Structure 1
Amino acid sequence: MVTRSSFLLSITRIFTWTFLLGLAVVVLYPLLWMVLNGFKENAELFGNPFALPVAWNWENYVDAWNRGVDNYLMTSVLVTITSTVATVFISAWAAFGLTRVNIPFSRTIVTLILGGLMLAPTVALVPLVKLFQSLGLYNTFWALLILYTAFRIPFTTFLIRAYMIDLPREVDEAAEVDGASKATTFWKIILPMCKPIIVSTVILHVLFAWNEYLFAMVFTSGTEMQTLPVGLTSLMSKHGTDYPVVFAGMAIAALPVVLLFFAGQRYFIKGLADGVGK
């Protein structure tokens, strides 16, 4: 005999699965549509954009790669990796100092770091352009590295600090008794314990740096330093009628981030849940 509680539980599960499936369709369908349209001809794309390709035209992907996507991809990979390493390392070290070391005015420092979250990048564009031009860093790799690192440190520090706060103090005391320095405690004890939030911050920064458009457009010029978002825009403006090639380039740009997220999704969810929830 079916009880009222079991009936309500079944209804709840049905609605939950329906919602999750609908959400999956909303998220995955645009990606699938983009990838499939990258195999079509231009006339086929406009004639029936929602149908499967009549022939799998891999030449569109090769053409997109040869039109500069390879250079844009390498630039994005280099900027993303270096800025991620710099941001996460500086933020983790700052979070360690603010939570595990007794330093004067720590609360004031935390307030200043969190105040950086309220600084809109667009407000500082003009003075930053003048500054980087005077320093000879405009249209260089270092410009994007410094900007991506500086503007993401407050948010990344906030997340890692929230995770470190509730780590047991006993491990620090045990390390101190064994004669470990603060640096050794950070590298060999605290940092491994923060693996979930570190993975989460890495993924979040990669998503930011990989898709960032404003800084990449303003502080770079020429194909040598353009990242994928800016490069794909120029590809579309130069070859605006060849939309399958544009879709192919967009699919190539999205693939690394999608693979990274699926590889680290377990730690990503755990890190955010433990860090932000504390």
Structure 2
Amino acid sequence: MEGRAFWNKTLHAVILIWFFVYAICVIYPIFWLAMNGLKTNSQFFLDTWSLPTEWHWENYKAAWAAGVGKYFLNSVLVTTVSVGLVLLISSLAAFALSRFEFKGRQILFILILSGLMLAPQVSLISLYKMLQLLGIYNTYWALIIPYVAFHVPFAVFLIRSYFLSLPREVEDSAYIDGCNSWGVFWHVILPMSRPIIASTALLTSMSIWNEFMFAMVFVENADLRTIPVGLMNLRSQLNTNFGVQLAGLAISALPMIVAFILFQRQFVRGLSAGSVKG
């Protein structure tokens, strides 16, 4: 028994050390990015791995004024509207597919999932022509509509799996009390599904926030560019000021880091619970 306890403690210690090293490998690049954004060019090249001797917060102000602020707000707008539409459409579709019995339900579900098989790169030219015909090319909607279309299938898959794991008794009680389908969805299903809603929102936000190809092709106006394309332009604009460039990269990474920290518990709960039944 003592030998078994010793090996259990040893294994526990090895696991803790492993996760500690892994956490350092993840956290240190972010810390390095933020710290080097506070250096001048000379400090960056001479002392790349050390803390800044002088903290130049004006680098962040300069990056924001150079265009990062405009690109940042554009990304916030596009991401917020896109994620909201994805959650609305996907949750309604998942509720119908998981709770209602109708002819062709499985076929409809397969058709929705078939959207996962279509690579965005394949549809680039056709989407370009379609957006021009619709008259929304070089607008925010030129990004929002494709983002929603490509993220709905996976969101439906996740949310439907979670809905199937929810107990039916609570819904039956709501129906007995006189609640209709919309009331059950809004007042019963959604409050019980906050973990998977948060998980889906976080995954979708990260994908849309960092998306580059559509943002580069479907938008030409510099005032409408999102953060990935904007940072590329900022690099050519500030090709010798690395401190400001790193400050801009730090600003662009901050929202997703904060979002994951705030919703990490719901993220894990949503994905783990949704994988039980589906």
TM-score normalised by the chain length of structure 2? 0.97
Equivalent position amino acid for 1:212 in 2: E
Residue equivalent to 1:232:
231
Distance 1:102 1:148 in 2: 30
Could you tell me which residue of structure 2 aligns to residue 7 of structure 1? 6
Residues 96-245 of structure 1 aligned to structure 2 (within 5 Å): 96-245=95-244
Q: For residue 172 of structure 1, report the CA deviation from its aligned partner.
A: 2.4
Equivalent pair of 1:97/1:103 in contact (CA under 8 Å):
no
Q: What are the ranges of 5 or more consecutive residues in structure 1 without an aligned counterpart? A: none
Equivalent residue, structure 2, for 1:44 = 43
CA distance in 1, matches of 2:139, 2:276: 39
Distance (whole Å) between structure 2 residues aligned to residue 277 and residue 26 of structure 1: 31
**Structure 2 counterparts to residues 32-71 of structure 1, below 5 A:** 32-71=31-70
Residue 109 of structure 1 and its aligned partner are, at CA, apart by: 0.9
**Cα separation, 2, equivalents of 1:25 and 1:124:** 39
Native 8 Å contact 1:199 1:268 kept in 2: yes
Amino acid at match of 1:221: E
Separation in 2, partners of 1:170, 1:102: 17
CA shift for structure 1 position 190: 0.8
Aligned partner of 1:262 in structure 2 is 261
User: How far does residue 12 in structure 1 lie from its aligned partner after superposition?
Assistant: 0.8
Q: Percent identity?
A: 44
Report the Cα offset of residue 222 of structure 1: 2.6
Code of the residue aligned with 1:113 in structure 2: it is: I
Supply the distance in 1 between the matched residues of 2:68 and 2:221 (Cα, whole angstroms).
Answer: 13
Are the equivalent residues in 1 in contact too, given 2:165–2:274 (CA < 8 A)?
A: no
Cα distance in 1 for partners of 2:174, 2:125 equals 48
Q: Deviations over 1:22-45 (max 9, x none)?
A: 111111111001000001111221
Deviations 1:92-124 (A, max 9, x none): 000000011112111101111111111100000
Q: Distance in 1 between matches of 2:6 and 2:39?
A: 48
**Are the counterparts in 1 of residues 165 and 276 from structure 2 also a CA contact under 8 Å?**
no
Matched residue of 2:54: which SS? coil
CA distance in 2, matches of 1:230, 1:276: 35
Tell me the TM-score normalised to structure 1 length: 0.97
Q: CA deviation at 1:276?
A: 2.4
Provide the rounded CA distance (Å) in 2 between the counterparts of 1:223 and 1:14.
52
Report the secondary structure of 2:123's partner residue: helix
Letter in 2 for 1:164: F
Q: Is the CA contact 2:209–2:227 (under 8 Å) kept in the aligned structure 1? A: yes
- State how far apart, in whole Å, the 2-side matches of 1:133 and 1:114 are: 27
Are 1:37 and 1:45, in contact at CA under 8 Å, matched by a contact in 2? yes
- Give me the whole-angstrom Cα distance separating, in 2, the residues matched to 1:4 and 1:241: 61
**Is the contact made by 2:37 and 2:243 (CA closer than 8 Å) also made in structure 1?**
yes
Gaps of 5+ in 2: none
Shift of 1:48: 2.1
Aligned mates of 1:99, 1:42 — CA distance in 2: 57
Q: Provide the aligned length of Structure 1 versus Structure 2.
A: 277
Matches of 1:133 and 1:273, distance apart in 2: 42
CA contact (8 A) 1:71 1:223 kept: no
| 2-structure distance, mates of 1:102, 1:119 | 28
Between the aligned partners of 1:112 and 1:10, the Cα distance in structure 2 is 50
Given that residues 197 and 271 in structure 1 are in contact (C-alpha distance below 8 angstroms), is that contact kept between their aligned partners in structure 2?
Answer: yes
- CA distance in 2 between counterparts of 1:223 and 1:64 reads 16
* Aligned-partner Cα distance in 2 for 1:170–1:46: 64
Q: CA deviation at 1:71?
A: 0.5
Q: Residues of 1 paired with 2:111 and 2:240: CA distance?
A: 49
1:188-209, CA deviations, whole angstroms, 9 ceiling, x for partnerless residues? 0111111110011111111111
